Structure 1
Amino acid sequence: MRKAPQQARSREMVERIVAAGRTVLVERGYDAFSTNRVATVAGVSPGSLYQYFPDKAAILEVVIDRYWEEVADRVAASLADRIGEFGPAMVRDTADALLTALEADRELLRVVAEELPVQRNRERRAALERRVRELVTTYLAARPGTTTRPNPAVTAWVVVLAIENLAMRWVLDQPEAVTRDQLLDEVLALVGGYLLA
């Protein structure tokens, strides 16, 4: 961002621009994303937009950061709520929370996962993975009998990436042959088998 908004009216304008950026990204896609379109949807002049955002990349950065933060907050909250639990119900509930977080804005997920250049999305997605992985590592380290795997950090990395990738593909692909409950059952079998292998 070029200039940090100080007054309430300025902060409201920045929020309108960011919300408009999200709308344009979802409705038009990455290739058609432009500052002029964002300004039009936000109901501001391009000059007003440029006071806060030097270019479209700066708007995209905020939109993408906020999206992954929303997903991470939902999953981390679910995992933190269940940190005292043990067993399959915790794994299933956490995977379900990830599905719910990803489904909250399926179209934005599609653009972020399939249209954005890899480097633009990699760091933000890695931050989500790191946050959840740290919680899972803590959980596994605090309960040595939970798994036969020797290294909680490595185990957490494998589990988090497996669940995340399965959840993203299910949300994006919407396979008719796999219901949500079936996916959660399979994730539970996969993670359970791995933890005890």
Structure 2
Amino acid sequence: MQNETYKTITRLSESIYKEKGSKFIAFAYPINSKEQALSIIDTVKKQHHSARHHCWAYRLGYDGSEYRVHDAGEPTNTAGKPILGQIDAFSLTHILLLVVRYFGGTLLGVGGLIQAYKAAAKNALEAAEIQTKHIPYNVSITCNYEDLPHIIDYILQQNGTIISQSYQENCELMCELTKQHYEQLSKYSSKYSSLILQLL
């Protein structure tokens, strides 16, 4: 395990940037999946159907390894890339940043577009509430039936997530816990002799 935390935003943040008659409305959303991002994009496009362009970028994964950009008809790399650049400048992940442009009648040129989309995206992130969160890890837990209620209580008290449960000769749980809570739970092995933990 390397990084133990990641940064994201806690709720929707909006901003408006104007340049030579064009209005750029930026929306920053916390997201957990590509499907969620695309659904939000579709909703915003319907809400702002008269806008000329709906440009966006998102980054996903606790390590930020999954991303996508879209220029939505603007010249290549003048919208999606500078939007993503601001996401990276703030070291964020699990975020969608969408900028809607209402054309004002004056062409901005490549440099002007890059600056406008960058400024709009930056303003939305500066207005956002940014939070550092602990990365959850998948943990396999095996214990007997007597110890099970205590183990489940601990997981829920630490805001862990139980992904699956299997009850046979022993109880087997798959859950998500932060590294800190995993290490604390591992100390319970002296108290609950049946407890077996494995990081996946």
Taking structure 1 as the reference length, the TM-score comes to: 0.26
Asked which structure has the greater RCO (Cα within 8 Å, sep 6+), the reply is: 2
Higher helix share: 1
Computing the radius of gyration from Cα coordinates, the structure with the larger value is 2
Higher strand share: 2
